[in-house]
Amino acid sequence: MLKGQFQILRCEVAGVDAVAAVTKHSFPRHTHEQYGIGVIHQGAQKSHSGRGMVEAGSGDLITVNPGEVHDGAPIGDAGRAWKMLYFDPHVINNAAKEMNEAGAKPDEFPRPVIGNTYLANAFERLFAAMTNEHPIASTLLREELLLNLLAGVFREADDPVQQQAIPKAIRRARTMIDDQPDLAVTLADLAKEAGLSRFQLLRGFTRATGLTPHAYLMQRRIDLARRMIAGGSTLAQAAIASGFADQSHMTRTFVRKYGISPGAYAAAMI
């Protein structure tokens, strides 16, 4: 049986986070601010993704795009183990610009699950280099490994899925939340910003983003809290600054999204 553990490893590159996890936790619908690439090492999981329901097993590469609503649950009773690298958007965007010369137009990872042993091995080499597991990792090596992995992931695109554009009115409301997630906003505030009625805003926001305005706000708040904790803030400081009613409210939200408590997250930073 797999035992639960969660480890965050410091990376040698700014804007990149590394995570190694073993868990039976079922993650509810949520989003990330970053791009994510990883490999399942043991067990298997199923999840709703931007491409519908998918399953990933041992050896599969998994990806997620910023803002993509997804969940995740183990298949069977044994849980699953994986490693992930999370990239701030500018890291992927800068690499993608360089790939445009080859005729590619990468702007998002095209497939949530990729069964490709070569790419899985490429990820393992990149993870080792990013976390200094590689004994002679250098900036040059890390850059090469990242570009090669991204090129392979973007080549995995099959029939392109047309993503419905988010209406400008909804984008204005979403931006209001993104800019100040710590503020106490009401549905009326968001509707006014969007120039819609409260019902139109609620229906349109949920349809466009996959989350209700409140659920989206909670995602942004817990993302802010996580960044603050990673930066050295106390749990109480992070809770207040990110807009939660109190530390216990932040803790409950944190556990639902990440599968561990914020205290354990802080302790896992090595």
Q: Are 37 and 109 in contact (CB under 8 A)?
A: yes
Whether residues 126 and 183 share a domain: the answer is no
CATH code at 149?
2.60.120.10
Residue 162 lies inside a defined structural domain of this protein:
no
Whether residues 136 and 178 share a domain: the answer is no
**How many structural domains does the chain have?**
2
Angle at 238 between CA 47 and CA 89, to 5 degrees: 50
* CA terminus-to-terminus distance, the chain: 26
> Of 98, 125, 155, which residue sits at a domain end?
155
Residue 246 lies inside a defined structural domain of this protein:
yes
212 conformational bin, left if phi > 0, alpha if psi -120 to 50, beta if neither: beta
Whether residues 140 and 190 share a domain: the answer is no
Whether residues 101 and 229 share a domain: the answer is no
Residue 216 lies inside a defined structural domain of this protein:
yes
Whether residues 221 and 123 share a domain: the answer is no
Residue 198 lies inside a defined structural domain of this protein:
yes
pLDDT at 158: 58
pLDDT at 251: 95
> Of 104, 134, 155, which residue sits at a domain end?
155
pLDDT at 135: 59
pLDDT at 164: 62
Whether residues 181 and 259 share a domain: the answer is yes
Whether residues 39 and 70 share a domain: the answer is yes
Residue 160 lies inside a defined structural domain of this protein:
no
Q: How far, CA to CA in Å, does 60 sit from each of 41, 120, 257?
A: 8, 7, 22
Determine the structural domain holding residue 29 and report its residue range. 5-155
Residue 74 lies inside a defined structural domain of this protein:
yes
> Of 155, 188, 223, which residue sits at a domain end?
155
pLDDT, tens only, 26-46: 898 899 999 999 999 999 999
pLDDT at 163: 55
Whether residues 239 and 145 share a domain: the answer is no
- Of 6, 80, 75, 85, the closest CA to residue 42 belongs to 80
Whether residues 29 and 147 share a domain: the answer is yes
Whether residues 229 and 260 share a domain: the answer is yes
pLDDT at 138: 81
Residue 163 lies inside a defined structural domain of this protein:
no
CATH code at 196?
1.10.10.60
pTM: 0.80
Residue 238 lies inside a defined structural domain of this protein:
yes
Under-70 pLDDT residues of the chain: 1-4, 100-106, 133-137, 158-164, 270
What is the phi/psi pair of residue 26, to 5°? -95, 115
